[in-house]
A and B are shown apart, each in its own frame.
Chain A
């Protein structure tokens, strides 16, 4: 396996805010049921408060298609997570 070059970000570069972070999600019929953020224990999703879909850049080879879920964890914490249909992966994102 060859690693990505991962060139260091210089001070001249723009650093995007609110970049998505990969999370492990177990889903039932497409609906998230448990969530595990990196380095933390797995948590149950108590309720799904909102759902919306974002489709952008449909003219590109790899359009951005996401389904966002605003979820309430069993700890009472509210989070925005989304399923990236292009990458088939789950991510969390602040201010989603």
Chain B
């Protein structure tokens, strides 16, 4: 059994929590994209305003809108704290988009004295001002759909059997399917607007038109979802922070503070004899959204002097956007490396350098680096295209 936690309008709810005077007002959070500004989130009081809409359109529809600068660092931190609280009740949690997460309930009922008590603990773990919607179902998709159907604070349960699920989904819109919006637009162009309409099509037809996504959709609308829950990974990290007595705008003072934080971080017992690959610096900016800078070192660094040299160069090139009230430094992607032994043989060194470069790319871009090597597949084949193939390089 799975539960889906859905906190819609998380940005607006977070802003109201921080500034209660915004409650009941048509709050619009705008984000910049190039020279244009778009609506990131809007409260239900901002009539006619939808996320993704150009800000100019939104303001013409809602003239009394209260504009708020986005603070994604704060929203993510609030959501992260919520997920940590849910994990504290013993649940595995998979993080989805901001405001959405999946929780595996199976096996926890006995621990909490029954499913109703478990759901109650789950709800109690989420701050009440976030007004979470909770859906419960036999798989991730049914739980998501149930969450969209439910009301804040009232868990909504989907049917358990796949036949009943298919009937439950039949009249619901295709927008609930976990596929990109381009696929949704294509479904619309075919006149497919409800999941029941998709269920009336054969798997082959959907697969031929949409590839793997077609297969996924065909299965989901029939109540079949075998996607497993991928619990969040908690990487080891070292965090140090300090608060300035007065907001600091001088880069020299900020760098001194960073040097101090680095000294404390590298003095931490968890970092003794080890190295860190990633450094994240976050700052609470005076009367502005929080600032965040993530730096990936070319190689794991095990002492503060080298780390500070990299950070100083980065911050001098891209200083904080305003006066800082607080500074937080996090060292993560900590290696178990105690020392560095150079290889005697040049080919081994080359392999190590390549492996190192791939690790660095993966850390920086958050995805597997598109690096391939050539492998013989069917060298005996008389068809040249079958003899060799590009295979993803696995370090």
Give chain B nearest CB distance to A67 CB in angstroms.
Answer: 13
Q: Looking at B213, B368, B388, which has the most chain A CB atoms within 10 Å of its CB?
A: B388
Against B, the Cβ 8 Å flags (1 = close, 0 = not) of A5-46 are 111000110111111100000000000000000000000000
Instruction: Please tell me the size bucket of the interface on B.
Output: 20 to 34
Identify the stretch in B104-112, B292-300, B377-385 within 8 Å (CB) of chain A at 4 or more residues.
Answer: B377-385
CB of B377 within 8 A of CB of A14, answer yes
Please give 17 more A-B residue pairs, beta carbons under 8 A apart, in addition to A17-B390, A18-B384.
Answer: A2-B209, A5-B208, A5-B209, A5-B210, A5-B214, A7-B212, A16-B377, A16-B385, A16-B388, A17-B387, A17-B389, A18-B387, A18-B388, A54-B382, A56-B382, A56-B383, A93-B384
Q: Knowing A5-B208, A5-B214, A6-B211 touch, does A15 contact B384 (C-beta < 8 A)? A: no
Chain B residues whose CB sits within 8 angstroms of the CB of A56 once the complex forms: 381-383
Of all chain B residues, the one with the shortest Cβ separation from A13 is B392
A64 at interface, CB cutoff 8 A = yes
| A18, B389: Cα distance in complex, Å | 9
Q: Does the CB pair B385–A15 fall under 8 Å?
A: no
A11-B368, A11-B392 as given contacts; A18 in contact with B385, CB under 8 Å? yes
Q: Which residues of A contact B366 (CB under 8 A)?
A: none
Would you mind naming 8 contact pairs between A and B with Cβ atoms under 8 Å apart? A5-B211, A5-B214, A7-B211, A11-B392, A16-B388, A16-B390, A17-B385, A56-B381
Give per-residue flags for B221-245: 1 if the beta carbon is below 8 A from chain A beta carbons, else 0.
0000000000000000000000000
Known: A56-B383, A94-B384, A95-B384. A16 touches B389 (CB 8 A): yes
A35 to B214, CA, bound (A): 40
On chain A, the residues within 8 Å of B368 by CB distance are 11
Instruction: Please give me the 6 A-B residue pairs with the lowest Cβ-Cβ distance, nearest first.
Output: A7-B211, A5-B211, A15-B390, A14-B389, A17-B388, A18-B384
Which of A6, A17, A54, A64 has the most chain B CB atoms closer than 10 A to its own CB?
A17
Alpha-carbon separation in the docked complex, A19 to B389 (Å): 10
Chain B residue at minimal CB-CB distance from A8: B211
Bound CA span A22–B370, Å: 26
Interface string of B143-159 (1 = CB under 8 A from A): 00000000000000000
Min distance, Cβ B372 to any Cβ of chain A, angstroms? 7
- A11 / chain B contacts, CB cutoff of 8 Å: 368, 370, 392
Q: A84 CB to closest chain B CB, in angstroms?
A: 11
Partner of A15, one of B211, B372, B382: B372
Bound: A94/B372 CA distance, A: 20
Indicate if the CB atoms of A17 and B374 lie closer than 8 Å.
Answer: yes
Determine whether B386 belongs to the interface, using a CB cutoff of 8 Å to chain A: yes
- Contact mask A69-95 → B, CB, 8 Å, 1/0? 000000000000000000000000111
- A7 to B213 CA separation, bound complex (whole angstroms): 9
Q: What 1/0 mask marks residues of chain B from 351 to 395 whose CB sits below 8 Å from any chain A CB?
A: 000000000000000001010101001000111111111111000
Most buried by B among A14, A54, A95: A14
Chain B residues within 8 Å of A20, by CB: 385
Chain A contact residues: over half helix, strand or loop, or mixed? Answer: loop
What residues on A are CB-neighbors of B390 within 8 Å?
14-17
A57 vs chain B, min Cβ distance (A): 9
**Nearest A residue (CB) for B207:** A5
B214 contacts across to A, CB distance below 8 A: 5
In whole Å, how far is A65's beta carbon from the nearest beta carbon of chain B? 11
Distance between Cα atoms of A93 and B374 in the complex (Å): 18
Q: How far is the CA of A64 from the CA of B382 in the complex (A)?
A: 10
**Smallest Cβ distance from B266 to chain A, in angstroms?**
35
Given A11-B368, A11-B370, A11-B392; A16-B211 close (CB under 8 Å): no
Cβ B208 vs Cβ A64 within 8 A: no
Q: How far is the CB of B206 from chain A (nearest CB, A)?
A: 10
Docked-complex contact A12 and B384, CB < 8 angstroms: no
Rounded to whole angstroms, the CA-CA distance of A11 and B372 in the bound complex is: 9
As a 0/1 sequence over residues 297 to 319 of chain B, the CB contacts with chain A under 8 angstroms (1 = contact) are 00000000000000000000000
Give Cα A11 to B390, complex, Å: 10
* In the complex, residue of chain A having the shortest beta-carbon distance to the beta carbon of B214: A5
Contacts of B377 in A (CB 8 A): 14, 16
Which residues on the B side are within 8 Å of A17 (C-beta)?
A: 374, 385, 387-390
Shortest Cβ distance from A94 into B: residue: B384
How near does chain A come to B181, taking the closest CB pair, in angstroms?
16
In the assembled complex, the Cα of A12 lies from the Cα of B392 at a distance in Å of 7
CA distance A16 to B214 in the complex (A): 25
Given the interface pairs A2-B209, A6-B211, A14-B390, the reply to whether A96 lies near B384 with Cβ below 8 Å is: yes
